[in-house]
Structure 1
Amino acid sequence: MEKAIILSFLLVSLLSSSHAADFCVADLTAAPTPPATPAEESALTADDFVFTGLGMAGNTSNIIKAAVTPAFVGQFPATNGLGISAGRLDLAKGGVIPFHTHPGASEVLIVTQGSICAGFVTSSNKVYTKTLKKGDSMIFPQGLLHFQLNAAGVTSVAIVSFSSPEPGLQILDFALFGNNLKTALIEAVTFLDAATIKKLKGVLGGTM
Structure 2
Amino acid sequence: MSSITSSLLLLLLLLAAASLTHVIAADPDMLQDLCVADLNSAVRVNGFPCKPATNVSASDFFFSGLARPGATNTTMGSVVTRANVEQIPGLNTLGISMTRVDYAPGGLNPPHVHPRASEIVFVLAGEIEVGFVTTANRLVGRTIGAGEVFVFPRGLVHWQRNVGSTPAAAVAAFNSQLPGSLGVAAALFASEPAVADEVLERAFQIGAREVRRIRRRLAPH
TM-score after normalising by structure 2: 0.80
Q: Secondary structure at the match of 1:54?
A: coil
Q: Does 1:40 align with 2:58?
A: no
User: Gaps (5+ residues) in structure 1?
Assistant: 1-18
1:115 offset after TM fit, Å?
Answer: 1.0
2:39 equivalent among 13, 23, 28: 28
Where does structure 1 differ by over 4 angstroms across 4 or more consecutive aligned residues? Answer: none
1:96 to 81, 98, 108: 108
Q: Please give the alpha-carbon distance, in whole angstroms, between the structure 1 residues aligned to 2:206 and 2:33.
A: 52
Q: Which runs of 5+ in 2 are unaligned?
A: 1-29
Which SS does the other structure have where 1:69 is aligned?
A: strand
CA distance in 1 between counterparts of 2:89 and 2:146 reads 29
Q: Confirm whether residue 60 of structure 1 aligns to residue 72 of structure 2.
A: yes
2:153 is the alignment partner of 1:153: no
Distance (whole Å) between structure 1 residues aligned to residue 210 and residue 32 of structure 2? 53
Please say if 1:78 is aligned against 2:90.
yes
Q: Does 1:134 align with 2:146?
A: yes
Q: Partners in 2 of 1:20 and 1:139 — Cα distance? A: 29
Equivalent-residue separation in structure 2 for 1:96 and 1:126 (angstroms): 20
SS in 1 for 2:186: helix
What is the aligned-residue identity percentage?
35
Q: Equivalences for 1:96-135 in 2 at 5 Å?
A: 96-135=108-147
Aligned equivalents of 1:176, 1:106: Cα separation in 2 = 22
The yes-or-no answer on 1:201 pairing with 2:215 is: yes
1:152-202 Cα deviation digits (max 9, x unpaired)? 111110001111011111111111222322322210122123332222112
Deviation of the 1:87 alpha carbon: 0.8
Say whether the 8 Å CA contact 1:118–1:146 is kept in structure 2: yes
Could you tell me which amino acid in structure 1 is paired with residue 139 of structure 2? V
Match of 1:192 among 200, 206, 213: 206
Per the normalisation by structure 1, the TM-score is 0.85
Amino acid corresponding to residue 97 of structure 2 in structure 1: S
SS of alignment partner, residue 66 of structure 2: helix
